[in-house]
Structure formats: structure tokens, C-alpha cells
Structure 1
């Protein structure tokens, strides 16, 4: 192609950007030398014999004329699009290649006289109909002023009206950052803002990215309802995209008989270049247009590996966007799915310094592609906001040096809630920064510190730790007349210990929720918690008279529960405020007298009179000593007083994250200085450790073409587990499927028989996968060495990639030097050498 285009008179600049789109159709963009003669070609890349080159030239000529052009010179571009648009185009090339490579739709033509462009178009049209592929809402009319009431049945709150007003005044697609309190209604504001942005700039769908899989499920329901109010037929085009979606009952119901569809977590393309083995992909298309039209979920083709973002409307984890910012194979499919949509990302403050590198990289590409982005947060540090704004504007400006000067020119918000909008036109950078009052007054939250001895021995009588004994005594007193309490622990082990201590006294009034429950139990318990402690429902079961929920960080964000009292381990201030957002959250809840006023009890550390406090080693490993020290200083100073929430939120976050805003006690100063030095060193190292995986290398954002984009990148097909290891810093962990084994056969954790080889028929598949649980990171190496699929799973589209962990008759298993057991109440319990 390069030689043919040059001989046709194409300018070298146009050849340079076009050829990588062709050469990259297998998922990787090579360098020019590699494209011309890969080592494995052994001199035979161009075929054998003198006629081969002539045949290729004739093919190009005949095809070009069949399209109605005199020759290939006539179709030379007038310029080059941005690299983001090139990446999007490349994604559509791959999509077309995969569809056309499917023998079920294109059986081949063995009679030369039947070969024609019209015949090819007819076959393509039939395949497209059978697959049932479709877009989103097409050209959307700009919503009316009353759109909030139409969509959600309520008038907008002041902050929601502010967001819509700002996006309606933007002069070009851009970035919108919404900072508002927990429970303010940011998500509804973002969805309506997405309508305005889509109508004004021609976007055909929406991607909503959530921080966790658990938060995706309720958002999926909300987005489907919202889309349905716009156009009832489009509700079937909303996809749920995360590794546990098969356990979402609404998603299962929409798929109907197709619930055994392949999932990104289980299906790779590495050994199957065109995805032809995907039983729910190309070859699994509906047999006729009528069947496709009746689907209540997006087309089957969209549900295959690496294709989910191509669905018109998508709710998934933020990882889906972060994956699109990695130098991995077929990344162009992910970018093609994002381009042309409005992107909404919730809880962006949850991205740590490592994840933020991928988020910033993604925003660069989205800015260059002119994709409108809406970021939501309740507790966003000012420095993080500036970095996100700078990344988007740098992408929109096509050059590196725009970020520093332009980001500092954006005014800082002066109130809360607030919205910051930025965009770039051909001649300038536009900006709007607005703030307003919250829809309800501040809560006066009493702050109490409950010092906990660190590394203290268990009490001799019952083995209960001193910390758990203190929490038990507090709750006995505060819940004497009833009420609902939320206890958040920083580790699974602490949550399990606290649950056992409280369950011994409060019995079935106590619930436990953490990340080492199996998939089925976790889904059921999450649903139960949201039903019991969620927004009041006129037709619901009502709020329990007394309930204690012990949870880990799962309850920290996008978890719509309302507790009368919060007991929490110390965490950095932004996360601590997120936890406080789970208290006295809903209006109209009747609360017993002792807990009628909002109160947070902060424990999990021990303040000292004349020395820095002690923190558990696990807490320091998770959050770092520096932020814990500064938060502890703020908390201890406020003990016995009240915080005005949410009005005081920006100030509290700035006090901890802005070094100049707040100082620790003099006796802590040296410890804080050393902790900050260590923290800064680690932050730099973590940011640098992300660089090898970013889609574009440092200094290469100004390149014009995609040539060599994948040089030195990860070319293998990655499972979702390995993708998460790339975009989320920390020790890699794996999931296993728990099964029971006796002398005769295997059983699912639920008790259903699986036969002697673990055969999983369709009717027991949900039971089998319901036993999926994530192991602690310390067991990853042992699990990868010792565990694999059962014999009966090796040909199953999902289970062949799963690792089984058989439990003996006592419900236990050995893995390395550790003993594992699954307790119906506690979840996965791990014991072993310290």
C-alpha cells in the first residue's frame, strides 16, 4: 500500500498516517521497519513469483474503481485527523475485520463470476441485520427546561440546575468537574448534563464509569430507567460491563436464555485472532433480524471480549476507561467505543496516584477526540482537580506545553457545591466556574475519638480484642432503644473479628459485608443492606428497629445506606468524609433518641500526649503514614466538637492535602516531616511505575501518526485480572471458585452436585460461579501454581479460565502454608503462619 500510494502521488504526510490503520488491523501498531518485513516472514511477506505484486496492484485498482473512483489518487485525504480520531478509525477497521472474518456470515464465494462489490454489500447487510448491531439515540434534540421532572419526577435542586446551566453555556465539547456533597444528586445532574452535551455536539451514547463492581449494579438500573424515559426502545441498548455482571439479576433477566454469554473476564483473543471461538460473539449472532429486534439487551456481538464499550450505552467500572489508556493489544476497539459518547466518571477522587496516571492519559486522548467528559466527586483535592483539567486541555490542544499555564489560569471554586467547566476552541481556552448552596442545610456531626490500643493482647475471658470490646460497649449504650449503626474497618480480618464480637451479643441484628465473600453471598448481602438501610420506600419492608452493619471500604462510596451512628477506623480525610456521608443521609427517617443527632466515632489508632499516634501496620500499608498523621491531627483537634457537613468538606480536605493550610502538633513535626519525605518518594515511584504501560510514552503525545504506538507494549491477550493489575497499583490477587469434594464427586458451594469431574451443566452454572471469591494477595503465587480448572471445566467457555479450590468435608483447604475455609457468616477465613 505504501508503494502504491506513493506512486499514485499521495503526499508523504498522508501516507504516514493512513498505513498504520491498515497495518494495525491485528491489534498492534508496528514500526515502519517491522511492518515492511517482520523477522518471522523470512523473506516471503510479499508472496512468491513476479506476478504477486502485479496481482496486489490489480486488486487495489479494481476495488477502487468498483467504489466509483477513477483511481486511488482521487481519494487522497486533504489532511490528517488527530491521533485520537486515527485510533477510533483503527478500531472500526478491527471491528469490520472481525465481523467479515466470520464464516457463519461470510461463507466465501467459489465462483469468480459471482464476485462483485454489490454482492459483498448484500452479504454485509445481511450479516449486520443478523447481528442486530445498532447505535444509540442518533441526533438528540436539546432537552427542555423541564427535563429533570420528565426524567426523575422531581424538580432539580439548585446544584443540579447549576450543572445544566453551565454545560448549556459551553462553546465546545469539554471537561466538566462537579464537586458536591454525598447525597446531593450529582449522578442525576450528570445524566441530564450528558443529554445536553450529546444534543449539542452530536454524541450517540454514554459511558458511566463507577469505582467498583458493586456500585455499577444500582447505577445500571438507574441508567436504564433514565434512557427509557428518553426513548423506550433504547433501554435494551444499555450494557453492564464488569466481571461479575452474570450475578446481576436484572442483567440475567434481560439476557434470558443467553445468560451463558462470554464475558471479558473469561474470553481472550490471544489464541483466537478474530474472536471466532467466542460463543457469544460474532458466531453467536441472532439467526434473523426479528430475533435481534426482540432482544432486551445489546446485540450479542457487543458482549464479547474487548467489545463492550462499543455498545451504545454502557455502565461499567472506571477500569474500562483506564484499560483504554494502556498500550495493550486491541486498545483501538476500546477507544472506538468511547469516542462519540459522553463519558461520566463517578467518585474520581478514589483514583490514587498510580491510577491517576491512566486517568490523565485517558483524558488526554478523550480531549483530543473532543469527547465531552463529566467528572463527579464529593471530596476532590484541589491539586487533583488541576491535574485532571490540565490533562484534558493538553489533549485538546494537541501539544504538551499547554497544561501548566492554562490549568493555573482556571479559577479555583470558592463555594460548595461547585462546577468547573473547561473547553478549547480553535483560538482560545474557555472556562466557567460556578457555585451555589446545597439543597439542604449542613448537618452538625459530632466528632468523637475512641482511642484503641495497638497490638494489645486479646482479653483473656473471651478472646475479644480491646478495640472490639470498646465498640461493643459503645453500641450497647447507643442502641439501647434501637437504631442502625455502621461500623467500617480498614481490613477484612478486623471486620470479621468485630462481627464475631458483636454477633455474640446482638445476634441476627448484625450483618457483615466485605470483599472476601463469594460472589453470590456478596450480591445478596449488598441487596439486603440497600433494601434495609436505603432510601425510604412507601412499598418497602421498612427500616429495621435495630441493625448493625460491619463493613470494609465497600461501604465507603456510592453505597446509598443511611446509618444513625457511624463507628469507623481512621482513614485519610477525604475517605473519612465519604464514610460520614453514609450517616443521616436521607430525609424523613425516624431515629431513636440516643442517635437522633449525627455522630461519628473514630477509632483504629491511639493518640499520645507528647508523641505521634500509633497506627496499625495494615492501615499504614494501605494509606501511608503521612496522610494518617495529618488526618489524626485534624480529628484529635476536633474531638468533642462538631463538623458542619457538607459545608466544611472542602476546607477539611484542603487542611490535610494542602501542606500550607494546617500544621500538626509540635511534638509530631519531625515524624510528619519524615513521613512526608517517604510519601513523596513513594508517590513519585508509583507514578513512574505506571509509565511503561501508558498508551503514549512521555514526549510522544505530539506525534502525528500511530506508527509504533505498541512498541515495547503488552501484546498478549490480558484477562480482566491482569488488566486490573496493570491499572490498579498494589499486589496482584486472583479469584478462585470454591467447590466441595467428597469421596465420590464435586459439589457447588450451594450443595448441588457437579459429578466426578466437576461437570457444570447449564442449570447449575450460576451455583458454580456463585462460589467465586477473591484470595488475599499473599496467596496469589500459590494459587497460580497449584490451582486450575476441574477436568469437566476445560471445554466450558467461562469455566475453562477459572481456578477451582476444592474444600474437604470439613470445609477447609490447604494452599501453600495457609489454611482456608469458607464460613457462611464470615466469608473466606485465612489462617496460617504469621
Structure 2
């Protein structure tokens, strides 16, 4: 029961001596220097955090997680959640923290809490998060009478600044830092006891949990503690209190409710009712006539007896994503979940999915639109995202734009103190103002801060954000907390390579243990990967590192696999009856276009001939230089105006514009606006989740599953008028040539990306359809798409040899396998848990030897093992100053005050080739005028001189508005 008395009244009622009351009343939690000029007492901050937790319980936590906490709290889940969030900073009641600020330390010392000499070496500093665990752990063991209960609770306190230490780390090297003597001992005990009473418990023994959360639930709870702490550390919302007589839970609750309202924070569905009808999520919500495969996925969601994993495999263009959203509604309503995260393979695929999810969320409540986060580094250039933020900026007085108002810095972490400097956590700037109160129909800026994106109720982003939550990195708990309470959908799950897949498997283990429903989507999933995903999820659900549950063979394709646990037993089921595809399989003509020339002249000539009488061709190649060469050749041949070029070295603005344009011209809604003749030249950006309809595909040879993904762009939409010569889908496979002894030769880039063995297998399968690579009398069989997809994928990654003997497939396989195993081992070093640690019941020592990667760029290097690359912002030197890539003047030193100019400047963001990473990190820096700007101060400027070129790492670099970044050896 909440007590409206001040903490001073409580201390008197508890029988504390006058000296103790004075001492506890002097302990500070936020210094004036770092709290907008107002000291905030320690008990005030603890109660503020507890009060924020109470508001989070009422308005943010999913009902599923509330139920678990109610079980742990013996029916008092809300109060227990408030206690565990608020107690996090009890370790600030020690000399190591109280001595951090001389002005704040003076009254503490005067009250009789003295200390001797403290270590000055930062490496010997005693952090208050660890101090809190050291202070609390022995009391929990003694007063709860259970070492097991204490064992999982103290790491929640020790880890609230982002890392979990081992129990050995709770012993300070210098006893002085924790506090000596009866005065300190009494004060520390009083802080815990007064706070515990203020929250509503009789005493510390009364707090003892009725059970234990599993490790994944502990990690989610830890993230929620961090969230509550960061909100309560916002000094704009929680003005410092220096008089303990004004500190009470009632007062903190009023402050917390006001802060929650002012910040515009909210959860998602808030208790989603069951849909009215089995297929209503498809028919009424999404407005589709259900296809058989969509119906199968939704029906499986209705029939699963517990949260679990669903793997939906269906042809390209089948409508898997809409079916997954419908299934997510069913799962959320049945199991008490509050939102959805949709993970996409790339930034380019995230943008159209974001728009689709926006429309879906609006169908529940138009105001929820602003709770859909787009999570990738180039979201500023998504038109829908910008529309929402432009509307918000127009309604919010004094706003500086996304992530810039209220002193909000995309690299800032709320709650940071002096002791966090060693971890690269800057303090919150002293300036700034929240401006007008945020409205219910505008976005909550708080969720835009670093590491917080997944905490939004609905989010769409790259799969990297899911993988980050499976890394042993700082504040991983905050990311994981953003997943628990949601349904997680992973589209194009096959796109994760073997290195990324280790993090995906680790994420599935943790999500399985946390009871988070997961839906995986793919058109071309190798059977071994499906089995690995099922085993990982069920291993987590059962708390075992090596669970195996064979997946029964599906009756056909499309199919749905469901995996869950029932009374402690793993269960995996597949579609029991054949599920027909929504359209009949089409014979697809497959031909060779042998050639490994880098300039692309051969491809340009073939495309020119194929679309001479009209038609849409999609060309997919593996090198930017090669794509640029093909574009040049076609442009010189009269295709200007009918060409589009898409690759990863376009600046952000151009890439977003062209992606949107291609989808508009060739997407499902193109209709009569579809051009009579057009050629799209692209790299692997066009491989998946790129909903365009082409008549002809020209593609470099790739592993068969990826080859089939590209074929999925052919004849994709019904009712499209096509030239007579392209009435049937046609594929030209290039990037390969007959070598000595008829063994294929591949593009060096293809071998570097995929390895030789999958390419040999793909070449053998193509040869079955197109005839021998070097020519011959074998009949051309072609492929039937999508009917042949499952067997082609299975054979492409199977064990029986399918290549001619002279290709020496066995040797290529061994080399490939050895490299794959090495990449798996490389990932193990930064996985959230090593295999031997999976059975540990608590979070103790989770971050032992972890990575200190913090920024998204650093995290990308953790979850992707390719060569590191860096992004730069193109600027052009002109007479007397600089211009943005589009000619916008940005001042003598690059200074930019106008928000529109900032957007135009950042529209010139481009990623450099990996071979220039080292030179860029050493030689490129922000312009002088960017130093104080939150969006620019970490950006590297690529300055093109007045001749339009820059020299970097022995290369000449220029930017062409059509071709993109051009890199040539100097």
C-alpha cells in the first residue's frame, strides 16, 4: 500500500536516530552540475524510478510480462516491479559515488559520513552499480533465507549501467570505497529499508520473490529497469529535490505521470481482443482475399497451444508478409503481447515494409501510426517517416527536429555520470528544452535515442537490430527488453549468412526462453536451416543447449512449420496437407550468357537485343563497377531515360528516390503507368523484398536459393501486359564461363562473396535446365517456378554430389565447409552466451570478455564479418566554403543551422568500399562547422575539390548523380 508520508516521516516512524535521519537525508543521487543546477537526493531518485516503473506497469508492459511478474511477486507484481526498478541505485550510498562531486560531498561529510583517501586511478574506481549489488546481496541472502532467490536479483542491480559482472567483481580492492564503520553501515541499511517501506513492503524480507524468472525474463526485466532509470534521470521532467521532507512516493508518482504524459510515451495495443473470426485478420484488417498459404499460417497461429516458432515457406510474391502480420495479431491477442517487430534483410527492404506496417497499424487505431518506429541509419530519407516528423515539428513549438530537441542526442545515454566516461557514455547536455508537450498523435522523441528503438510498440528495421540483442555488448538488455512483449517477424530469413546466422540462432534461443512468438518467412529456405532454427528456439524454451526435435517433412510447398513446447516436451509440426500456391507454376526458360568480363559489355548487348521491341529487364550483378559499366554501355546505346541504376554506392537521397521510383513504375500498383521499355541495373539490393515485375532477368550466377529469389522478380504480378517475345519468364545466367576441362570459371567477386562450392552446385543445376555451359546436345528443360523451388534449394545445399566428376566438387566442398566452420567460431566470441554457459540460471558474469561496441556502426562490425566499411557525407568545396552534394550552400566552415539544409547535406551520405575503410578512418573527419551539431559531429566529410574529385587511400573518388560513387586507382 502506497504511503503518502515523506521519507523523513518514514525514517522517524521506523525509529532511526536523528543522526541517521540527517545522514540519509544528505545523500545525493544527481549532482547539481549534471542535473541542470539542481541537486537531487538519492532517495528522491530511487522513488522517482519506482514511480516511473509503476506508470510503465499501467501503460507500457505487456499483459504477458505483467502476469509473470505477478507470479514472482506473489500477486503483488506491480509493487515488486516498482521495488526492483527503484532499488537499482542504492549503491550510490557509498564513498566512491558521494565523493565524485566536491560540492555535493561537503554536506554528506558534515553529517558524519566520512571517508579516507580514495583511489584516483580510473581503473580502480568503484562503480555504484557494482557497489549496490555488493551492498544488497548479503542482506538478500540473510533476510530472504534463500541464496537462490538473491542470486538472480542482485545482478539486476549490478547490471543497470549495461554490463553484468561476476560475483567475484563484487569485492572492492580498497574497502574504503564501499564505506567503513557503523555510520556508513547504518546509512546504507536505512536507504534500502526506507525505500522498501515507502514502496509499500513491510520490510526487505517481505520483498522475497515467490519464484524465479528464467534467464531471458531476467534480461528483459533488466532492460526495463534501465528504461525506468533513464526516464527518471531526465532532469527536465524530474526537477531536483534537496529537501528530504518533500520526497515521497506520492510526489514521485505525480512527477512520473506528468513526465510520461509530457514525453508522449505509450505502449502498443494495450490488451488486444481476439479477432472476430478465424480469418478476420486477413479479410477485415488487411483487406485481402486469403490465399491457401496465408490461410494456413493464420490457422496455425490459432491452433498453437503456447507461444512458439512458426516458419512459413512460400513462393515469392505469395503474400507471406501480410499473412505474418495477420498471424501476429492472432498470437498477440491469444498470448497477451503488445506490439510487433518486423526484421528485414536490408535498409532498402525495410522502407517499403515500414509503409505496409504503418497501414496495418492504422487499422487498429489511427493514433498508433506514430508508434511505428523505422530502425535504420537512413530513415530520415523515407518519405513516410519524414511526413510524420514534419507534422510533429510543425506542431511542436521550438523543436529542432528529430532527435535534436530537448538536448536529445542520438549518441546520448540518459543517466550517465562522471564514472561512465570510461565507457564512452557522454553526459546529457545542459542546454535544450522540451518545448511544447507532446501530443497523443505525435511521435515520442524519447524512443529515438540511442539503443531505444526496439522499445517502441511497433518497429520495422534491419535484421541487425534483432542480432544486436544476441551480442555480449553493453546495454544488450535494453534491446532485448524491446523484443519481449512483442511478436517478432523475420522476413527473408535465408538471407543471413553463416556468421550472422549464429546471432540469429542465439536470438531464437533467448526468445524461446522468454516465450516470445517468432514468425520466420522465406521462399528458399534450405531444410538444414529450418531444422537449426527450430532446434534453437526449442532449446531456449526448454533451457537446454542441445535440444533436437526433428521437423517432419511437409506435405508440399507452400508449407508452415510450427514448434513449441507442451508440458515440457518439444513439438514440431508441419503442414499436414498440401497447400496450393495462389497461382500455377510457370515454365521459366533458363539460358546461359557465358562471360566474366568486368565492363559488362556482353550483358548490355544481350539486354539491348532482348528488349529491342519493348519489355522490362532486370539486371542483377555482384559488383558496383560492373553495374556502372553496364549502365554506361546501355546509356550510350540510346536507353537514356529508360534506365535506372541501383547499388550501395548511391548517396542516401538518390538511393531512396530511385527505389521509390522503381516500385512506383514496376510495382503492383503500376497498372497502365508501367513503361513500355525499361532496364533496371542493380546489385544484390534487388534480390529480395523488391516488389517489382520484370519480363526478363539477367543475373550473375549465385547460390541457387539466391538465384531463385531473383527469379521471383519475374512475371510477379497478374494482368501485366508483356511483349510477345517475353510472354514467358526468361532468365539469362552470366558471370560464369567454361574453364579448362569444362570446369566453370566464376567472377572473382562472386567467389569472394559466396564461396566456390555453392556456385558449382548452382552451375550444375542451371546446366540441367539450360544445357551444358560450354554448349552441347543436352535438351533444355527449364524450370517450373515455384513448383521446383523446394527441390532445387534442397539439392543446392544437399550432400549427394551433383556436379560432373571433372569439377572436383568434393575438394571445393571441404574448403567451403572449413571456412564456414571458422566463421561460426569467429561469431562465438561475441555471442550473448557461449554454448557451455547456456544452462546458467542467472545473469551473473554475462558480460565477461564482452565487446564494448556501442554505436550502430561498431555493432554492425560485430554481427557482420565482412570487411568493415564506413559512411561519409559528400561535400563539395567551392569558392569561399562548402556545398552539399546537391549544391546547397553550407557555409565557410560547413556550418548548418537550417534543418532543410541539414537534410540535404545528409542526403549525400554514401558508404565507401571496404578497401578504403582504413584510409577513411585515418583521413576523414567532420568539417569544423559540424562539431556542435548532434547529427553531424560524428560524420566524416568526403570533400570533393573544385575539380569534383578527392584522393583517398591511393584512389581517385568522384560522385556522378547518375552512376553514384566512382572509385578508380590513382
Q: Please classify the TM superposition score into its range, dividing by the shorter chain length.
A: over 0.9
Shift of 1:478: 1.9
Report the alpha carbon displacement of residue 35 of structure 1 after superposing the two structures with TM: 2.7
Q: Evaluate the alpha carbon distance shift between residue 370 and residue 116 of structure 1 in structure 2; reply closer, same or farther with a 3 A threshold.
A: same
- SS at the partner of 2:691? coil
2:336 corresponding residue in structure 1: 202
Q: Hey, what's the Cα distance between the residues in 2 that align with 1:266 and 1:501?
A: 43
Q: How far off its partner does 1:431 sit? A: 2.9
Contact kept, 8 Å, 2:380 with 2:386, in 1: the verdict is yes
**Corresponding residue number in structure 2 for 1:632:** 763
Judged with a 3 Å threshold, the aligned counterparts in structure 2 of structure 1 residues 585 and 265 are, in CA distance, closer, same or farther, namely farther
Provide the alpha-carbon RMSD of the alignment. Answer: 2.0
**Structure 1 pair 270–715 and aligned structure 2 pair: CA distance change class (3 A):** farther
Matched, 1:666 2:799: no
Q: 2:148 aligns with which of 5, 13, 17?
A: 13
Aligned residues: 804
**Deviation digits for residues 738-776 of structure 1, max 9, x if unmatched?**
000124101101101111110012230011100100000
Corresponding residue of 1:243: 377
Query: Counterpart in 1 of 2:178?
Result: 46
- Kindly indicate whether residue 686 of structure 2 is the aligned counterpart of residue 545 of structure 1: no
**Alpha-carbon shift at residue 637 of structure 1 (Å):** 2.1
For residues 150 and 170 of structure 2, the distance between their equivalents in structure 1, rounded to whole angstroms, comes to 14
* Equivalent position SS for 1:50: helix
Q: CA deviation at 1:112?
A: 2.6
Provide TM-score, normalisation by structure 2: 0.81
Gaps of 5+ in 1: 456-464
Equivalent position of 1:461 in the other structure? none
2:845 paired with 1:708: yes
1:119 aligned partner:
251
1:446 aligns with 2:589: yes
Q: Which residue number corresponds to residue 462 of structure 1?
A: none
Measure the CA separation in 1 of the matches of 2:435 and 2:689. Answer: 36
What is the rounded CA distance, in whole Å, between the counterparts of 1:277 and 1:624 in structure 2?
Answer: 46
C-alpha displacement of 1:74: 1.2
Aligned to 2:23: none
- Counterpart secondary structure, 1:137: coil
> Which residue number in structure 2 is paired with residue 527 of structure 1?
660
- Paired with 2:261 and 2:612, the residues of 1 have a C-alpha distance of 64
Give the counterpart of 2:317 among 183, 190, 205.
Answer: 183
Q: Name the residue aligned to 1:564.
A: 695
Q: Which residue of 2 aligns with 1:141?
A: 273
Residues 658-704 of structure 1 show CA distances to partners (whole Å, capped at 9, x for unaligned) of 022x5111221x2x121111101100000000011100122111001
For 2:965, which of 809, 828, 832 is the aligned residue?
828
Query: With structure 1 as the length reference, what TM-score do the two structures score?
Result: 0.94
1:721-740 equivalences in 2 (<5 Å): 721-740=857-876
Structure 1 residues 213-256: Cα deviation after superposition (integer angstroms, max 9, x where no partner): 01111111110111111222222211111110111111111112
Question: Does 2:456 match 1:303?
Answer: no
Structure-1 residue corresponding to 2:790 = 650
| 1:265/1:644 CA distance change after superposition, 3 Å | farther
Q: Is the 8 A contact 2:596 2:747 kept in 1?
A: no
Asked if the contact 1:284/1:300 (under 8 Å) is kept, the reply is no
Correspondence 1:88 to 2:220 = yes
Q: Aligned pair 1:431/2:572, yes or no?
A: yes
Residues of 2 paired with 1:330 and 1:756: CA distance? Answer: 39
Q: Is 1:699 aligned to 2:832, yes or no?
A: no
In structure 2, the partner of 1:398 is 543
Distance 2:411 2:660 in 1: 28
Q: Does 2:477 correspond to 1:319?
A: no
Which of the pair has more CA radius of gyration? Answer: 2
Match of 2:948 among 778, 787, 811: 811
Return the alpha-carbon distance in structure 1 between the equivalents of residues 203 and 596 of structure 2. 82
**Structure 2: distance between partners of 1:667 and 1:752:** 60
Gaps of 5+ in 2: 1-135, 394-398, 771-779
* 1:497 corresponds to 2:640: no
- Give the aligned partner of residue 742 of structure 1: 878
| 1:23 paired residue number | 158
Q: Which residue of 633, 649, 659 maps to 1:516?
A: 649
Summarize deviations over 1:386-432 as a string: whole Å, max 9, x none. Answer: 1010000000001123x23x2x2x20223100000010123322332
Quick one: distance in 2 between partners of 1:353 and 1:68? 51
> By how many angstroms is 1:509 displaced?
1.2
For 2:884 and 2:700, locate their aligned partners in 1 and report how far apart those are by CA, in whole Å: 36
Look up the match of 1:417: 558
Residues of 2 paired with 1:412 and 1:352: CA distance?
24
Tell me how far 1:480 sits from its aligned partner. Answer: 2.0
For residues 476 and 108 of structure 1, do their structure 2 counterparts lie closer, same or farther at Cα, with a shift above 3 Å needed? Answer: closer
Per-residue deviation, 1:268: 5.0
1 or 2 for the larger relative contact order (CA 8 Å, sep ≥6)?
1
The more displaced of 251-260 and 209-218 is 251-260
Query: What SS does the corresponding residue of 1:699 show, helix, strand or coil?
Result: helix
Task: Answer yes or no: is 1:790 the counterpart of 2:922.
Answer: no
1:15-54 deviation line (CA, Å, top 9, x unaligned): 11000001111111111121332x5xx4333235531110
Q: Alignment partner of 1:703: what SS? A: coil
List, as ranges, runs of 4+ consecutive aligned residues in structure 1 with deviation greater than 6 Å: 281-284
SS at match of 1:602: strand
Aligned twin of 1:293? 440
- Cα 1:308/1:286, change in 2 over 3 Å: farther
User: 1: CA distance between counterparts of 2:416 and 2:871?
Assistant: 24
Q: What residue is the counterpart of 1:610 in the other structure?
A: 741
1:277 deviation in Å?
5.6
